[in-house]
Chains A and B, each alone.
Chain A
C-alpha cells in the first residue's frame, strides 16, 4: 500500500516535471525574443530602413511558431495543479491561486489579445499603433512571468500568510508581491529570457554568415543580439549569485545540497568538480577541485560567511518537524547547479567572443565562431532546465517549504493508472509537437529556407 502511494506521488511528480520543463523550453525564448523583435520593428519605424522590417518579419515568424507551443503547453500547467495536486490546491489556493488569477486578468489577457492584433494588424493598424501592440505584448509577457514567479516563490519562501484550519490564508498581498525571493527570481528569469533570445538570434545570424547568405542583413541583427547578450550574460552571473543568497536564507538545505556540503563550514570553499560525496553513507568525495572561500561569498555575500551543512540542517529540521528525511537528492542538486552555472559562463564567453569579433569586423568571416554559436543554441536550454531542476528538486521533500510535504499533497482521486495513462499521453503528444516545432523553426531560420519577404506575414491566407 505504501509502495503504491509513493508510486502515485512519483508519477504525479514526473508528469508535472515533464510538462513544466517542456513548457519552459518555449517560455524564455518568447520572453527574450519578444523585446528583440519589438526593438527591430521600432528601428524600422524610426529609420525607415527596409532591412529592419525584413528582420522583424524573419524573427517575428520564429517568435510566433515558438509562442504557439508556449501557449498550448501553458494551459496544461494551470490545469495540472488541480488535476495532480488537489490536496496542495486546497491548502494553498487562498494564497497561490491569487497571483495565478491576477496573471490571467492583468497580463495573459492583454498578451493574447494584443498578439492577435500584432499578427493580423500589419495593414489594419497605423504603423505606430501596430508597433505599440507588440510592445504591449512584451510588457504583458514580462508581467505574466512576474506573477507566475510570485506564485512559485511563495512555495520556496512562504510570506504574508497564516495557517487556519489546515489552510494557508493570505494576510498581506503586498508581502506576497514584494517577496524578496520573487523579485530576485524575476530578475534572474527575465535575464535568462534575454539570454535565450539573444543567443538564439546570434546563432541564427551566424548560420547565415556560414552559408554566406545575406551577410549584411544579418550583421545588423547580430549586432543587436550582441548588444543584449553581452551585458545580459554578464549581469546574470552577478544576479544568479544574489539569487543564491536569497536561497541561502530561505532554503538552507537547498544551498547545502547544491554544494554537497555535509558539514557546516566557515569559511567554505567552492567545489568545482567532484567524484563521490553525494550520499549520507559517502560524504567525502574521492576526488575534488575546490576554490577557497568562494562558497562563503556566493552563499552569504562575505568571504568569511558560514554555510550550514546537510547533517546539521537535517538535525534541525527533525527537531522542528519530527522524524523524516529532509534532504533533497544531493547528487542531482549539486550537478544541476553546476550545469546551470557553467552554461552561464560559457554563454558569457560566446557573447564576449562575438562582440570582440564584431569589433574587429571579423564576425561575418570567422567560420569557427559560426559553428560555435550554432552549438551554443543548446546552452540556454540546458541552463534553464538545470535551473528549474535545482529550484524545484532542491525544495524537496517539501512542496511548500516548511508547510506541506510533497507526498501528502497529491490528488487522492487520481489513480496510478490515470497518471500512467496521462503521462504516456503527454510524452507522446509533446514529442510530436516538439518535432514539428523543431522542423518549422529550422525551416524558417535556415539560410534561404523561407525568404523573409515583408508580405508573408502581412496578409496571411488571404492572398489568392
Chain B
C-alpha cells in the first residue's frame, strides 16, 4: 500500500471518528427541545455531552487539516467548491460551540431557551449539510480541468444528496438517543429509550435506503463495481437493524456499539465507493480528482505518517480515558456505582 492510499484511509478514519463521536452529541443536541420535561433534565442532557463534545469536534479539524496537507488539490477544490455549504456549516457549528459555554451563564429562561435552540439548530443543520456535502463528493460536481468547481450553490442538491443529509440527521438522532439511555437516569432515561425506539425504524429505513443508493451511485457515476462498496454498506445496514432490535430488547449498551459500527461502516461505504477518486467530476468525468493526482509529494506524506503513528494512538488513549472519567450517569442525584451496563436502564412500563 502506498502512502497516498494510506492517507486516503487515514482521512476516512478521521471522518468516521468525527461522525461516530460528534454524531451522538449532534443527536443529543437535536433532541434538546423534545426530550426534557424541565430545565433540570435539559441541563443533564447538556452535561452528558459537555465534557466531550469539544474533543469530538477536533476529529473534524484534523480531517480538514490532513486533507490540506495530504491532498491539497482535493482540499482546495472541495472547500472552494462547497463554499456556501461550508459557510452554513460554520454558522451551525459556531452557534453550537458558544451555546455550550454561554447557556449556563444566565438564569434567564429566554436566554437559556435561545442557546438551547442554537445548539439544536446547529446540531441538526451541521448534520444535514455534512450529509449533503459528502454525498456530493461521490455523486459528482462540475469541475474544470484544473480541478476548480464550476457549478453554483444549487448544484449540490439532488435527490441522492438530500437523502444523504436526512440520513445523517436521523442516524445521529438515533445514535444520540441511545447514548442518552446510557448516560442519564430515571424518567429522562426512560424517555430517551422511547425516543430511540421511535427513531429506530425511520433511521434504519432512510439510512438503509441511502446506503443502497450510495452503492448504486458508485457503480453508475464513479465507475465502481458493486463489490467492494456493498460490503461495508451491508455491514452498516445490518448494524443499524441489529441496533434497532437491541433497542427494543432494552440492551442499549450493545445498541450503541452497533450504531457506532453502523456510522463507521457508512463512512467506509462512502470512501470505498469514492476510491480511487477523491472528488468525482460530473459531467466531465475525466476532470475527477484522484488519490494520485490530488496528493502531496512522498516526503510530506512520510512526515505526516510518522506524526500520525505517534499521535493517533495517544489521542485514542486519552479520549478513551476522558470517556471513562465521565462515565457516571447524570441527571438529579447520581446513582451510586452507576455503570454503563444496559441493565441500568430502568424498566420501560409504558412501552408501546
- Inside 8 A of A106's CB, which chain B residues have their CB? 307, 311
Contact with B along A108-120 (1 / 0, CB 8 A): 1110111111011
* Closest residue of B by beta carbon distance from A450: B105
A116 to B21, CA, bound (A): 15
Please, how many angstroms separate the alpha-carbon atoms of A422 and B61 in the complex?
Answer: 21
Complex CA gap A164/B296 in Å reads: 11
B278-317 interface code vs A (CB 8 A; 1 in, 0 out): 0000000000000000001101100110011001100100
Query: Do A413 and B69 contact each other (CB < 8 Å), given the known contacts A105-B307, A105-B315?
Result: no
State which of B62, B90, B322 has its C-beta within 8 Å of the C-beta of A113: B322
Which stretch from B52-60, B170-178, B204-212, B230-238 is at the chain A interface? B52-60
Interchain CB contact under 8 A, B54 and A83: no
- Which residues of A have CB within 8 Å of B78? 82
- Are A97 and B319 CB-contacts (below 8 A) given A72-B97, A89-B79, A422-B83? no
Roughly how many angstroms separate A113 CA and B146 CA in the complex, as a whole number?
A: 39
Nearest to A70 among chain B residues (CB) is: B97
Could you tell me if A68 and B98 are in contact, using CB atoms closer than 8 angstroms? Answer: yes
- Could you tell me the distance between the alpha carbons of A170 and B98 in the complex, rounded to whole angstroms? 37
Cα-based distance from A411 to B43 in the complex (angstroms): 43
Contacts A422-B87, A433-B98, A461-B44 given; does A97 touch B299 at CB 8 Å: no
Shortest A131–chain B CB gap in Å is 15
Main secondary structure of the interface of B (DSSP, over half): helix
Cα separation A72 to B72 with both chains bound (whole Å): 24
Among candidates B58, B60, B75, B98, residue contacting A93 with C-beta atoms closer than 8 Å: B75
Q: Mark A395-426, 1 if CB is under 8 A from B, else 0.
A: 00000000000000001111000100110010
Q: What mask results when residues 310 to 344 of chain A are scored 1 for a CB within 8 Å of chain B, else 0?
A: 00000000000000000000000000000000000
User: Is B64 in contact with chain A by the CB < 8 A criterion?
Assistant: yes
Can you name the residue of chain A whose Cβ is closest to the Cβ of B115?
A: A436
Decide if B325 is an interface residue (CB 8 Å cutoff). Answer: yes
Least distance between B71 CB and chain A CB atoms (Å): 8
B47 interface contact, C-beta 8 A: yes
Cβ-defined contact, A94 with B307, below 8 A = no
Residue A274 lies at the interface, judged by CB distance under 8 Å to chain B: no
Number of interface residues of A (CB under 8 A): 75
Interface pair A105/B300, CB less than 8 Å apart? no
* CB-based contact B312/A93 at 8 Å: no
Q: Is A375 an interface residue (CB 8 A)?
A: no
Does chain B have a CB within 8 A of A366? no
Q: A72-B93, A462-B44 are in contact. Are A93 and B72 (CB under 8 A)?
A: yes
Q: How far is the CB of A8 from chain B (nearest CB, A)?
A: 12
The answer to whether B77 touches A461, judged by C-beta atoms less than 8 angstroms apart, is no
A97 CA to B75 CA, complexed, in Å:
10
Within 8 A of A (CB), among B19-69: 40, 43-44, 46-47, 50-55, 57-58, 60-62, 64-66, 68-69
A364 near B: Cβ within 8 Å? Answer: no
A193 to chain B, nearest CB (A): 20
Inter-chain CA distance A67–B81, complex, in Å, is 30
- Quote the shortest CB–CB distance from A124 to chain B (angstroms): 6
B-binding segment of A38-46, A73-81, A210-218, A222-230: A73-81
**B55 contacts A86, CB within 8 Å?**
no
Residue in A64, A73, A91, A95 whose beta carbon sits within 8 Å of that of B101 in the complex: A64
Q: Which residues of A contact B81 (CB under 8 A)?
A: 413
**Using Cβ atoms and an 8 Å threshold, which residues of chain A touch B267?**
none
Set of chain A residues within 8 Å of B75, measured between Cβ atoms? 81-82, 89, 93, 97
Answer yes or no: B326 CB below 8 A from chain A CBs: yes
Chain A residues with CB below 8 A from B312, complex form: 105
Interchain CA distance A88-B72 in the complex, whole Å: 9
B44 to chain A: closest CB distance in Å? 7
A118 CB, nearest partner CB in chain B, Å: 9
Residues of B within 8 A of A95 (CB): 300
CB pair B52–A116 under 8 Å, yes or no, is yes
**Contact digits for B72-102, partner A, Cβ 8 Å, 1 yes 0 no:** 1101111111011011001101100110111
- Please tell me if B199 contacts chain A, counting CB pairs below 8 Å: no
**A72 adjacent to B47 (CB under 8 Å):** no
Residues on A with beta carbons closer than 8 Å to the beta carbon of B340: none
A109 near B55: Cβ-Cβ < 8 Å: yes
Interface contact A169-B297, CB-CB below 8 Å: yes
Is B87 a contact partner of A117 (Cβ separation < 8 A)?
no
Report the minimum CB–CB distance from B18 to chain A (whole Å): 12
User: Contact: A76 with B90, CB < 8 Å?
Assistant: yes
Complex Cα distance A69/B303, Å?
A: 32
Interface residue A239 (Cβ < 8 Å from any Cβ of B): no
Please determine whether B307 and A116 come into contact, CB atoms closer than 8 angstroms: no
Cross-chain contact B83 with A78 (CB below 8 angstroms): no
Known: A113-B55, A461-B44. A97 touches B296 (CB 8 A): yes
* 11 extra A-B contacts, CB within 8 A, seeds A101-B304, A119-B51, A425-B87: A68-B101, A68-B102, A88-B76, A91-B72, A100-B65, A101-B65, A101-B68, A104-B65, A411-B83, A436-B102, A461-B43
14 contacts between A and B (CB under 8 A): A71-B54, A72-B97, A82-B75, A83-B80, A87-B76, A93-B73, A108-B61, A113-B319, A169-B297, A169-B300, A173-B303, A412-B148, A422-B84, A422-B87
Q: B residues bordering A, Cβ < 8 Å?
A: 40, 43-44, 46-47, 50-55, 57-58, 60-62, 64-66, 68-73, 75-81, 83-84, 86-87, 90-91, 93-94, 97-98, 100-102, 104-105, 146-150, 153, 296-297, 299-300, 303-304, 307-308, 311-312, 315, 318-319, 322, 325-326, 328, 330-332
Q: Which residues of A contact B (CB under 8 A)?
A: 64-65, 67-69, 71-73, 75-76, 78-79, 81-98, 100-106, 108-110, 112-117, 119-121, 124-125, 164, 167, 169-171, 173, 411-414, 418, 421-422, 425, 429, 433, 436, 440, 443-444, 460-462, 464
